[in-house]
Amino acid sequence: MFFQDVGVSPTICLHHSTSIVGLATCLDQFTVPPALYDPLSYDLAQPIGSQREDWKDLTTRLLSVDGNCSITPIPLSLKGIYAVEPFQNYCVLYESTSPCGNYLKGWGYIIVPSTQRGISRNVHISAPHPGYDMGTVQQAASIFSLTGSRSLLVAGRDRRAFLDPSDCIQPSSPSQSYYKTDPAHNDVS
């Protein structure tokens, strides 16, 4: 499935995917691609006001869900940007906006089992490099579903979405580059 058409929302992934790996593969198509951001668009994509704290609170509530995904209401600062929906035996917190076929913000998505009994390991799986490292999103989703892990967190931006160097971690050699949109090398993104 390729849904890069204008007007197509990531919500379609929840309605057409048949597995967690399929869902992750579909959502990965909306990842903010390399070199999309310039300084202004990058700044506009960053959390403002209470959004960072509301995101943290929402993910904490999502980790405690037990049988009903809808008990995790979207805070006002995230309404219109994010949604929580059930998918099979999981709850999915995902960015629901995608003008021009890419996530508007690119903050990523989280999948958790919809019941506490669906968790067999208190392990959190992540895929910090969607798009760029081919197959890592699918591998992370597969490990998450096969192991009964507590959560899956997938970044919503390619690590090269904004080609401005990270201020957080400096590369060990001049030939390496770490960018502001690389969550493995920048604690702000």
pLDDT tens digits, 64-94: 999 999 888 899 999 999 999 999 999 999 9
- Structure pTM? 0.89
Q: Which long-range contacts (CB under 8 A, 24 or more apart) does 132-141 make?
A: 132/34, 132/158, 132/159, 132/160, 137/24, 137/25, 137/28, 138/21, 138/24, 138/25, 138/28, 140/24, 141/20, 141/21, 141/23, 141/24, 141/25, 141/111
Q: Is residue 132 over pLDDT 80?
A: no
Output the six-digit token pair for 92: 């999915």
Which of 1-5, 116-120, 124-128, 160-164 is predicted least confidently?
1-5
Higher pLDDT among residues 58 and 130, named by residue: 58
At 29-46, the pLDDT tens digits run 999 999 888 999 999 999
Tell me what pLDDT residue 2 has. Answer: 47
On whether the CB atoms of residues 179 and 164 are closer than 8 A, the answer is: yes
